[in-house]
Structure 1
Amino acid sequence: MSREQLVVERARRAFQTGMSKPLKFRVHQLKNLHRFITERRKDIADAVKKDLNKTEHSTELFETLGLEGEIDVAVERLAEWAAPRPVEKSLLTILDEVYIQPEPLGVVLIIGAWNYPWAVTLQPLVAAIAAGNAAVVKPSEVSSHSAKVMEELLPLYLDKELYPVVCGGVSETQELLRQRFDHIFYTGNSTVGKLVMEAAARHLTPVTLELGGKSPCYIDKDVDLRVACRRITWGKFVNCGQTCIAPDYILCEPSIQNRVVEGIRQTLLEFYGPDPKSSPDYGRIINQRHFNHVMALLDGYTAALGGQSDSSQRYIAPTVVKDVPPHARLMQEEIFGPLLPIVTVSDIDDAIHFISEREKPLAIYVFSSNKKVIKRMLAETTSGGVTVNDVMMHYTLNSLPFGGVGQSGTGRYHGKHTFDQLSHHRACLVKSLGMEEVNMVWYPPQNHQKARRVRLTMRTPLVDFSRKTYIWAVTATVFAFGLLVTLTAILLIAGGLNCTCWRVWQIWR
């Protein structure tokens, strides 16, 4: 029996004891995870520095800060998320309890990514714990320093049986995928995503695949280019372009292409100084293989901006390429590096057509002051998410679901959305043994009258008595009572006036 098989079996046995289901236990584990992040902040930052050359501030901003927010929200809202959810009733079930009960799926496999090795690995773990599951955590071996810290330190804070960490490369991942899980959560590229889905299909295991793709960024000719270029430059070159929702390429009209390049040039000088290589805020490519792959994408092109590189440091300068043809290699695959191609289009119609004839992207970005342009881009394209007049900011809101569509992924996460993704929504109907005459319509012998009753009762839904309905009912009652008091007062006043006028008339007469 392999090590991976033993780990999964121990996690399943621990789950079957029921220890992960009580809300008190879940909250305790979530708070321990929060304590891990705060107490081991230095270890996490050092590991990310070695993996991706990020500063401690950058690690906090893009890795741990969001995790802490996810945990805080889960702890605060867990009782609400896990509570039974009343639904509408029909006349046949008016006296019954009818609700949806979120319950744990079982044992979840979480396969993390290397570009944000803490955020994309531990965010699903937060929801797995909150939903009452066991979870096997497989950090990416590419970000080896982060994986090692996670393997060594996380078990000091979380239950070792329920939430084990398994490190290793391709063979270890393949062995894990041979095991039966109740859900697999994978973040990475579409090539591996297909292998994960194929492996999951053998056990009919549901999957959440957070993949990537070529996220387009359309710049309208009438927009404030200074602001647009600053926001695009930040989103594209943060983490050295190794972000799944970074703008992958720019679409704009030829008349503004040079102005866009100049706007990016000025912004890079503002952000990283005259030499980005010496800036502490500019990262490095994760490894030599990926460095060679990104540099190969530049073959045959002359950079309009940047283009410098240093293989010994895995450094590639922020680079912009103009007039890239749609069939170029740069436009056939996700770049995942600091290269930004510009493709010119004639107008908004051309831009929408360009986006729509390709695979559905993980994100679309639109920069425009024209509401009609924005409305058309939203209505006539499809993507996992969209941000208007900024980039990547939709990811920062845990109230919004984050995920892809089509080739860019399936499923969603963040906040309650991840909780729901890693829960089974169990349909529950609890009847009493009384009122048997109501059930008589189902029993033989059948006749036209019984069928008519069933048709009538099943087509007459009743509003569930949820909190919202209760509030409306109370409001209506208070309003009606107030109206009654007002009418009574008016009648009393009117009666008093009538009485006074009658007495005055009597005296005068």
Structure 2
Amino acid sequence: MPTIHEIVENQRLYYYSGETKPASFRREQLQKLKTAIKNHEREIIQALKQDLNKSEFEAYSTEIGILYKEINFAMKHLEKWMRPERVKTPLTHLGTKSYLYSEPYGVSLIIAPWNYPFSLQLSPLIGAIAAGNCAVLKPSELTPSVSGVIADIIQEIYEEKYVAVIQGGVEVSQELLQQAFDKIFFTGSVNVGKIVMEAASKHLIPVTLELGGKSPAIVDETADLQLAAKRIAWGKFTNSGQTCIAPDYLYVQQNVKKELLKKIAESITEMYGVEPLENEDMAQIVNENHFNRLKKYLNNGRTIIGGDSDRSLLQIEPTVLDDIDWKDPIMEEEIFGPILPVLSFEHIDEVVNNVRKHPKPLALYLFSESKRQQDHIIDSLSFGGGCINDTLIHVASPYLPFGGVGQSGTGSYHGKASFDAFSHKKSIVKQTNRFDIKFRYPSYKNGLKIMKKLLK
């Protein structure tokens, strides 16, 4: 059994062989991955049910189908992405041609979280393969069934010198972070993201950090309240709120607050039933530690919807809390659970001012029919990405880069952005030998005068 260091070095040797670089090889490996996922769909769904109690619908739509879409998109556009990009040449470079070459970083480390343990492990891998890299995968130890399925799939289709899966806890992660990888891609919490970035800095390794934060859903008086309620409830309570881009809290204009909350309650009943804890398809909290953490938040404000829980099932029913203040513990960090605190505002500038006082969120969702209001929020607040009059769906478009800003993350992926995340853009100037620009040399009599004209 090779050590972690030996696995990394073996991958480095394989990468230097050049076998991972041809487009035909990359396409073949992407097709292998797609076929393997299809062949193991049943095991994947069962593992997600075992670890997180995900329904088959939720498992397919958020963990499996989205990967097919990404693989298909990468295979369709691969040659175009790989092709050297011709860029303009300034007058000072007369006679030259300028290009950008996409070069694989080499050996990449991809660390996955537990909330979407299958898709968030393999989605970055699609970019790594498309870009021509080798990769070491570190699945979450909190979802052992899914981690086992990932290991089985990868071992079935790839040699360890190309893609390897290393399972284990914190000690394994620490050892991995001591290795001199060429690229690190991490999805997880802000606190662990800081540890990853610090470790990467010791080797000056480029990183992509997909983190989280408190992502607001904002509803003003012009919004379609029926659709807003349904889409907020869907976005918040999918996977029992354990989604990095879930609406973390609701900011609603005071004069429509009562009606919106009534419609949210109706939407919850429509999606999860009158007794959500009896719904066999409702996802569970990942473990008891997170369950206990979330239970404490139920003491904040006033519970107006839900509030019940079942420790034996590790489930908390969709819950809405009113009378919340920014000083409450629930507003101090990302909730990552099925609890929605509600704040109200009279004027939109109250929202802008309060959101600005906190770290930049990963996502933001505005429900408004006012074009002026939409433009104002987009222009006034910094966040990773989001939706107008919906939640979550921006993450599923291969044409939109997905990523955070500030404490919510650095770098982006999905579609071409995944290819770019695992590629170094190498700048190349191809110079002509048909003539030489003599005034650039210090011996040329009027060189300075000409330079001043060209460079002013």
The TM-score, its normalising length taken from structure 2, stands at 0.97
Counterpart in 1 of 2:149? 149
User: In 2, are the aligned partners of 1:90 and 1:457 still within 8 Å (CA)?
Assistant: no
User: In 1, are the aligned partners of 2:301 and 2:323 still within 8 Å (CA)?
Assistant: no
User: In 2, are the aligned partners of 1:90 and 1:458 still within 8 Å (CA)?
Assistant: no
**Closer, same or farther in 2 for the Cα pair 1:110/1:165, shift >3 Å?**
same
Within 5 Å, give how 1:211-360 maps onto structure 2.
211-360=211-360
Counterpart in 2 of 1:443? 441
Deviations 1:399-441 (A, max 9, x none): 11100000100000011011112101101112233313x2x11
CA distance in 1, matches of 2:239, 2:409: 22
- Which of 449, 452, 455 aligns to 1:452? It is 449
Equivalent AA in structure 2 for residue 126 of structure 1: I
Deviations 1:122-181 (A, max 9, x none): 111001011111110111111111001111222211232111010000000000000011
Deviations 1:328-387 (A, max 9, x none): 001000000000000122211111111111110001110011111111111111100021
**Closer, same or farther in 2 for the Cα pair 1:398/1:455, shift >3 Å?**
farther
CA distance in 2, matches of 1:455, 1:141: 62
Deviations 1:1-27 (A, max 9, x none): 982112111111111111111111111
Equivalent AA in structure 2 for residue 344 of structure 1: S
- Rg larger in 1 or in 2? 1
Equivalent AA in structure 2 for residue 44 of structure 1: I
Within 5 Å, give how 1:2-151 maps onto structure 2.
3-151=3-151
CA distance in 1, matches of 2:159, 2:5: 18
Structure that is richer in strand per residue: 2
What SS does structure 2 have at the residue aligned with 1:304? Answer: strand
Counterpart in 1 of 2:429? 429
CA distance in 2, matches of 1:63, 1:182: 27
User: In 2, are the aligned partners of 1:319 and 1:340 still within 8 Å (CA)?
Assistant: yes
Quote the offset at 1:446 in angstroms: 4.1
User: Which piece of structure 1 moves more, 92-101 or 259-268?
Assistant: 92-101
The TM-score, its normalising length taken from structure 1, stands at 0.87
Counterpart in 2 of 1:185? 185
User: In 1, are the aligned partners of 2:441 and 2:447 still within 8 Å (CA)?
Assistant: no
Equivalent AA in structure 2 for residue 442 of structure 1: R
| Structure 2 residues not aligned, in runs of 5+ | none
CA distance in 1, matches of 2:406, 2:13: 35
Deviations 1:471-506 (A, max 9, x none): xxxxxxxxxxxxxxxxxxxxxxxxxxxxxxxxxxxx
Equivalent AA in structure 2 for residue 26 of structure 1: R
Quote the offset at 1:225 in angstroms: 0.9
Equivalent AA in structure 1 for residue 441 of structure 2: Y
Q: How many residues align?
A: 456
What SS does structure 2 have at the residue aligned with 1:327? Answer: coil
Quote the offset at 1:300 in angstroms: 4.6
Counterpart in 2 of 1:361? 361
CA distance in 2, matches of 1:331, 1:79: 46
What SS does structure 1 have at the residue aligned with 2:247? Answer: coil
Equivalent AA in structure 1 for residue 443 of structure 2: P
| Structure 1 residues not aligned, in runs of 5+ | 460-509
Equivalent AA in structure 2 for residue 445 of structure 1: S
Counterpart in 2 of 1:467? none
What SS does structure 2 have at the residue aligned with 1:232? Answer: helix
Quote the offset at 1:456 in angstroms: 4.4
User: In 1, are the aligned partners of 2:96 and 2:429 still within 8 Å (CA)?
Assistant: yes
Quote the offset at 1:92 in angstroms: 4.3
User: In 1, are the aligned partners of 2:277 and 2:310 still within 8 Å (CA)?
Assistant: no
CA distance in 1, matches of 2:93, 2:30: 38
